[in-house]
Amino acid sequence: MSILRNLLKLPKAHKWCIYEWFYSNIDSQRLFHQPLFEGDNEFCLCLKESFPNLKTRKLTRVEWGTIRRLMGKPRRCSSAFFAEERTALRQKRQKMRLLQQRKLSDVSNCKDLPDEIPLPLIIGTKVTARLRGIHDGLFTGQIDAVDTSAATYRVTFDRSGLGTHTVPDYEVLSNEPNETMPISAFAQKHRISRYMQNVMTPPRGPYPSATTPILMDSDPLINQSPWRNKLSGAEGDTLGGFPVKFLVQVTRLSKILMIKKDHIKNLKEMNTEAEKLKSYSKPIDLDFQKRYATTVLELEQLNKDLNKVLHEVQQFCCDLAPDQGMVPADHPTELRRRCEDESQQMVQLSNSLKDGQPSVTNPSLTHLISRLTALLLQIKCLADGGDLNSFEFKSLTDSLNDIKASIDPSNLSCFQNNVEIHVAHIQSGLSQLGNLHAFSANNTNAV
């Protein structure tokens, strides 16, 4: 250890360690192992471009020599090579910044980027940053300001005497694993299909507002905040450009999610403990059962509170839709209505015989067939449209639940086994919401 410490005291060795192992959040994604610097090496990339049909890698030395001669001599240490690599790196960083700021809607030019894009760091994040000048090295600190136009962070360092400095984003690394989003989620696609001519994002109809206070009304963070008076202000008050009512709901939403995350963690630990006791054939004591039941009941209440707050947030999104140039549609949504109209025409046309008489005379059966056909058309439209947002996800779930509610109870088991389970698999494949698709479920009792 002393030898390593003495080595790192040498300026050149210290810089070499920084260049070799220090990667910022924009350059390296530690969670998904798909960073800009840690992908396939240049030889593998050239091999894929020059010989795309070469699938095997088990070749003889003579065969590898032939491939190298066909590829040409690499210019790895030439000045032109380094300049080209730096230019490519700057372009990749700029693309990632534009995606983070949602200023780039066409992701077709981002094929050279990883599948997961790191989110920009926020104020208050603990980071390790590269400081140049007199105090050259890596130091820990905290982000105090973000400048997206200059792609820099204002970092206040922990060590006394260093003060606050402006650091480029490619020299700032979060001390905690940074959150990422799929690259497709950054694309603002203007989707137009034959089912939807004028609707970009068909939102839900009006949601019932949560009139009862949900959690957090006695939260000390809000009660002691200097903005307490503004939080209880008039309906049209804004704070930082956002409606106060919306900010309160977002704060409550964040608070509930944090509490639910802790409860789920405790539930997982108790499940592990219960499985361990069962494997050893040991009895589960009454105290453990009480703690387990209490956690489940608290999760049930959290889900109910979460559903109420989500209704408020979605209501704000519905109110925001006209301001963003989107046309809100009443319940049922425009997409669903178009699919139902087309399915009725298809069923009516297919059910007519040559003599004009219908082959299926039972109106209940034809109505069920029409609604199931509309469900398939709705799925097809969403798949052709691209990314599935929460409103469309909820609309698809509502269509399925409406059909399920109209079925005779004796046929529910058949419906679940032959329709519902397959639609659930399709929803899982369509959804681009990650774990957030659970919030679109109607069952608030689920963990």
- Of 58, 38, 54, 34, which is closest to residue 46 (Cα–Cα)? 54
Residues 94, 178 within the same domain? yes
Average pLDDT over residues 183-198: 49
Residue 100 contacts residue 123 (beta carbons within 8 Å): no
Residues 6+ apart with CB under 8 A from 401: 442
Residues 153, 247 within the same domain? no
Kindly report, residue by residue over 377-423, the tens digit of the pLDDT. 888 887 776 545 556 667 788 888 889 898 888 988 899 888 888 88
Q: What is the pLDDT of residue 83?
A: 87
Q: What is the pLDDT of residue 325?
A: 47
CA distances from 259 to 20, 124, 190, 252 (A): 39, 21, 36, 11
Residues 305, 398 within the same domain? no
What CATH number did the domain enclosing 1 receive? Answer: 2.30.30.140
**Whole domain around residue 14: which residue ranges?**
1-35+75-188
Residues 341, 305 within the same domain? no
Based on its alpha-carbon atoms, the radius of gyration of the chain, rounded to whole angstroms, reads 29
Q: What is the pLDDT of residue 128?
A: 92
Kindly report, residue by residue over 102-113, the tens digit of the pLDDT. 777 677 777 777
AA letter at 84: E
Q: What is the pLDDT of residue 236?
A: 59
Does residue 149 sit within a domain? yes
Does residue 235 sit within a domain? yes
Average pLDDT over residues 233-258: 76
Q: What is the pLDDT of residue 390?
A: 59
Q: E strand or H helix at 140, and its extent? A: strand 137-147
Q: How many domains does the chain have?
A: 3
- Of 103, 95, 123, which is closest to residue 36 (Cα–Cα)? 95
- pLDDT over 90 (residue 85): no
Residues 344, 312 within the same domain? no
Residues 297, 335 within the same domain? no
Both tokens of residue 141? 């600190």
Residues 28, 168 within the same domain? yes
Residue, of 324 and 175, whose pLDDT is higher? 175
Residues 95, 137 within the same domain? yes
